[in-house]
Chains A and B, each alone.
Chain A
């Protein structure tokens, strides 16, 4: 057993864990944050993407024990008291989801993409940057639209959105 201490969605979280425990298992099974999903066992699908210290990571590929001291944000921590994150709103507005299983990972990836590449995202960039995220339902068409729109909306909200995390 190892002790882990991290901050998840702004709250301290600690536990004694089997050292094999993955970050996604810690989030889902110990903290009951089940919005982060597991869609594969080879780090290919991106259903498990969360932010760790401000960057997107696949939480199925990170041992919880290595996250001590980190700041983790999951899909549950993205909306704030003021309401939905603009990227969440954009996914709904553009029908960027069907079964919703890939959606938390897609949204977390998309927010990270905007942080890295800015607010004006063209279609090619978005499609290439979704390399690590699979969706079986939407054919990506509306996800791409949603991300472009979400990025614009984030620009409109200005820097406040950036500090929120």
Chain B
């Protein structure tokens, strides 16, 4: 058993249990004496709740309790919170309405939580939920992002006039206006960034438990960040003291952001477990996931790009209305502000940027972070503008990008970010080679001969990952720090357990993190285990999102390992009777410099624990170290994705023929896992561009509430991808890692739409570009478009 080096495509340690059906997802767990919860949900988007008659439901067989907003209030269960304070232009704090776990007199979206039925069996709970009679006074709904700020729109929360949560801005307005005044050319774009439902394949699940003897609560839940869940449930919702609440997120079947947030259901399960005196389990069905998991995107944007006569960008201005839904979810406020506008500069040197964002309430499900979170929206704005500007100026899109790339680093953008390192020309050049750009004209002719229209689309993306330096995010309104923790426990036999505050729900931490430890400590990967997802085991951690597990989570492990090595050197010095300064550690061996005397890592571990060779007063026995790592900067993964597709004008079907991704993620620990992350991200981005869209009708009914109506990308919709990498190591963390989890989802949508519009010969198509939309767009002549 050798050492597994950083950079090798070692197969995943976690796979054995998943391929044999031995994974332990939350729904696979049943607790002794467990009862089942079913929520009574609002069928209306907006209504007063005049009364709830639960008498007959309570009398049904097997029913243990029916709880409502009155019970929540009586027990002083706090409301759900939004953990990021955004201030409006005028300095006023955002206007956040109350967000009770169960409705208090009013419901604000279809699926809103009115009551919960707890019964012996799931079937009994379902039957009883149907028997709860709710008297609704239905109100008109504000369901449309673009119209919700109208004076006559229904008001979602009293505290937020015109349904406006904040009117936020970033950048220098005067400088941007001045840039536009000098412009030789201005490209304008109106766009809708379509609303998406994250849909990890595993629906959310919560099991709450209460042990009266010890007064300890336990929550098993599908979470990307169990410690944050515990903190919020303890400190804000107030249902249990932090030290008496254990949160466990076992195997989690994908998250993509939607499992970051602290929802009503887990809150209710923990609270109800004590009230009912039984463990309470809730398993979401897919329809509930559609209705109530936080959605993503949903922007209406107007953007303008100012260029000089040579095609050099002078300025960018953007006005966005961002739908936040009916309540502010845990990080909702930050997504269309600080995760969005700071990325509008893209890979380009833009001297002046000004962005305004209105965050708005509507009678729709809460909107929060979904894979990429703000950065896909920003990339879509700038990459569509670049493509259209190039076409308007008659310049090759590739050429316009090259002309404007940031070429020297560090580069301070006008919107907060300081790009540390990158080589955008390199990823572009490699992508052009891989897509065979020189053969494009010929391929277009061949497609035309078959009656098809071929198009190519580019997307040069950048993202800010490795989230994030705590001081920086604190100054921007974050309620938490975004460091990460690690603890490295070396056992007397030399095996190692690493406790991390990161959480894996598909990313493969059990492999990548173990690979890092194997490489650094020189021990076989089989002797390393990664522990995560349990607040009783891991002291604290911030969890996994924002492509932070590598750059932040692994940096914490490196820091802890450095401490372990330093301590082990002291132990080795005693055992080898040498001075500490003479001890070298290399390839898993501690040796005395210039001699052949040395000890294997495992031998030193044993010596550390038996403590026979040193005095316990001089040196503490044991070998275990912890570290908190706070990043000094964001990381800036960037790259070039190119989509080449064919449209069949007779059917409107777009078939992606080639996909080239050249990403710069800095150093890579496991290329197999990184490529897998890119594949999955691209699929979600293509889904957004071509298929997916959450649609509410004017009454606020979600008309896409199942996989029958919401078109998920399937295998036959996608090609195999060509994925390659260029590397500029990240200078701000010890491993040089930038992060890779969101790149595909960020890069893909504009690549697809730029390819479609290239094939169509006009810009008049929105996401999702369904076959019907494409078919229509194929019939638009320039004359028709001008007349519109």
- What is the CB-to-nearest-CB distance from A66 to chain B, in angstroms, rounded to a whole number? 18
In the complex, are the beta carbons of B706 and A41 less than 8 A apart?
A: yes
Chain B residues within an 8 Å CB radius of A37: 25, 201-202, 253
Taking a contact as CB atoms under 8 Å apart, the answer to whether A40 and B286 are in contact is: yes
- The answer to whether A139 and B20 have CB atoms under 8 Å apart is no
- Residue B537, interface by CB 8 Å: no
Q: Does A101 contact B (CB under 8 A)?
A: yes
A99 CA to B508 CA, complexed, in Å: 8
Given the known interface contacts A99-B202, A137-B254, the answer about A38 and B19 at a Cβ–Cβ threshold of 8 Å is no
Contacts of B682 in A (CB 8 A): 139
Q: Is A127 an interface residue (CB 8 A)?
A: yes
B residues 284-337 near A (Cβ < 8 Å) are: 285-287
**Contact between B20 and A88, CB atoms less than 8 A apart:** yes
A114 close to B (CB within 8 Å): no
Q: Which residues of B contact A137 (CB under 8 A)?
A: 201, 254, 506, 676, 680
Residues of A within 8 A of B (CB): 18, 20, 28-29, 33-42, 44-45, 47, 74-76, 78-79, 84, 88-89, 91-93, 95, 97-104, 107, 123-124, 126-128, 130-131, 133-145
Nearest-CB residue, chain A, relative to B202: A101
How many residues of B are counted as interface, with CB atoms below 8 angstroms from the partner's CB atoms? 58
A140 to B719, CA, bound (A): 9
- Among B208-216, B225-233, B359-367, B708-716, the stretch in contact with A: B708-716
User: Which one of A39, A76, A95 lies within 8 Å of B12 (CB-CB)?
Assistant: A95
| B683 to A, closest residue via Cβ | A139
The residue of chain B having its C-beta at the shortest distance from the C-beta of A126 within the complex is B715
Per a CB cutoff under 8 Å, which of A93, A128, A138 touches B676?
A138
Taking a contact as CB atoms under 8 Å apart, the answer to whether A35 and B20 are in contact is yes
In the bound complex, do residue B718 and residue A99 qualify as a contact, i.e. CB atoms below 8 Å apart?
A: no
Is B8 on the interface with A (CB-CB < 8 A)?
Answer: no
- A79 CA to B679 CA, complexed, in Å: 28
Chain B interface mostly: loop
**Are A44 and B20 in contact, CB atoms less than 8 angstroms apart?**
no
Shortest C-beta distance, A91 to chain B (Å), equals 5
Closest to B18 in A: A100
A139 B744 Cβ-Cβ under 8 A: yes
Do B706 and A91 have beta carbons less than 8 Å apart? Answer: no
Q: A127 — which chain B residues lie within 8 A by C-beta?
A: 715-716, 718
Report how far A107 CA is from B20 CA in the complex, Å: 10
Please name all residues of chain B whose beta carbon is closer than 8 Å to the beta carbon of A76 when the two chains form the complex. Answer: 20-22
- B679-A139 in contact (CB<8A): yes
Residues in chain B near residue A20, CB distance under 8 A: 123
A141–B243 Cα gap in the complex (Å)?
44
Within the assembled complex, what's the spacing in Å between the Cα atoms of A72 and B113? 39
B61 CB to closest chain A CB, in angstroms? Answer: 12
Q: What CA separation (Å) do A102 and B707 show in the bound complex?
A: 15
Q: Verify A100–B681 contact, CB threshold 8 A.
A: no
- Is B758 located at the chain interface by the 8 A CB criterion? no
Asked whether, in the complex, the Cβ of B201 is within 8 Å of the Cβ of A36, the reply is: no
Nearest B residue (CB) for A36: B21
Within B204-257, the residues touching A (CB, 8 Å) are 251-254, 256
Known: A98-B680, A103-B19, A139-B680. 7 other contacts (CB 8 A): A38-B203, A84-B19, A99-B506, A100-B14, A101-B201, A136-B199, A141-B676
Q: Which residues of B contact A33 (CB under 8 A)?
A: 21
Q: Is the CB of B12 within 8 A of A92?
A: yes
Once the chains are docked, how many angstroms separate the CA of A141 from the CA of B20?
A: 21
Of all A-B residue pairs in the complex, the 4 with the closest CB atoms, nearest first, are A35-B21, A100-B18, A101-B253, A99-B506
